[in-house]
Amino acid sequence: MALSGTVPYSLLMAQMRGDAKRDAIIAAALRVFLETGYLGTSVDDIAAAAQASKRTVYSHFGDKEGLFREVIRSTIAPMQDALQRQLELAPTADPWDGLRTVTRGLATIIVTPQVVRMRRVLSAEADRFPDLAEEWYRLGPMQTVDRVADWIAASGLAVDDPHTAAEQLVWLTISAPLNRLMFAPYSTAVHRDDLERAADAAFEMFRRAYRTTE
């Protein structure tokens, strides 16, 4: 008999298996949605890719739309976690050195093939799922700007409007490589060195503009 206040071992194992299966379905769905888009994907396709039954997929996510929503959220969360770690590890002794590190992190975290391809899929379905598109914008681009703005405000840089400055910096950093990948073939890749060079160019432009205010 399980002790009071503890979860029985058999139930705990079932929950762990359920979570693992749920994660496997999300991972498989991500691959399929990226390959064939929302309309081109069926629950049968996802179940086969996840080596799960359709019943299992439905029991976890309700329907294809529910699963699509979870896939979108699962794409955003790791990106924001990585950005937060980058902000926390950025050097603070010289805020400009720290900001250069932050800028490089922005490029290499946001402009990844998986994120760009999911942006394509969601853009194609924005009219079908306007609330989900708004959620991506709120939890992705908006949260990115907010976090960079908080870092700038705490860094000691003489910036009157950290939020506007952060928005400018983010777009300077990611716009060129992001647009290139959004409209290029899936096989096109932007190497890390290219992303860092683009980030450094954006940083230098930003520094020239804002150092005049110090």
Q: Is residue 186 part of a domain?
A: yes
Q: Which of 41, 62, 83 is the last residue of a domain?
A: 62
Instruction: Give the pLDDT band (50/70/90) at residue 103.
Output: very high
Least confident of 76-90, 129-143, 173-187: 173-187
pLDDT (average), residues 15-25: 72
Torsion (CA) 137, 142, 144, 148 in degrees, nearest 10 = 170
Domains contained in the chain, number: 2
Same domain, 77 and 163: yes
Q: Is residue 67 part of a domain?
A: no
pLDDT (average), residues 71-78: 89
Phi, psi of 4 (to 5 degrees): -60, 135
Neighbours of 9 (CB within 10 A): 9
Which pLDDT value is given to residue 170?
96
Report the predicted TM-score, pTM, of the whole model to 2 decimal places: 0.81
pLDDT at 17 > cutoff 70: no
Residue span of the structural domain in which 127 resides: 73-211
Q: Is 158 helix (H, G, I), strand (E, B) or coil?
A: coil
Residue 207's domain is classified under what CATH number?
A: 1.10.357.10
Q: Is residue 68 part of a domain?
A: no
Distance, in Å, from the CA atom of 70 to the CA atom of 22, rounded to the nearest integer, reads 10
pLDDT tens digits along 154-212: 998 889 999 999 999 999 999 988 888 888 765 566 788 888 999 999 999 999 998 76
Side-chain half-sphere of 191: how many Cα atoms within 13 Å?
3
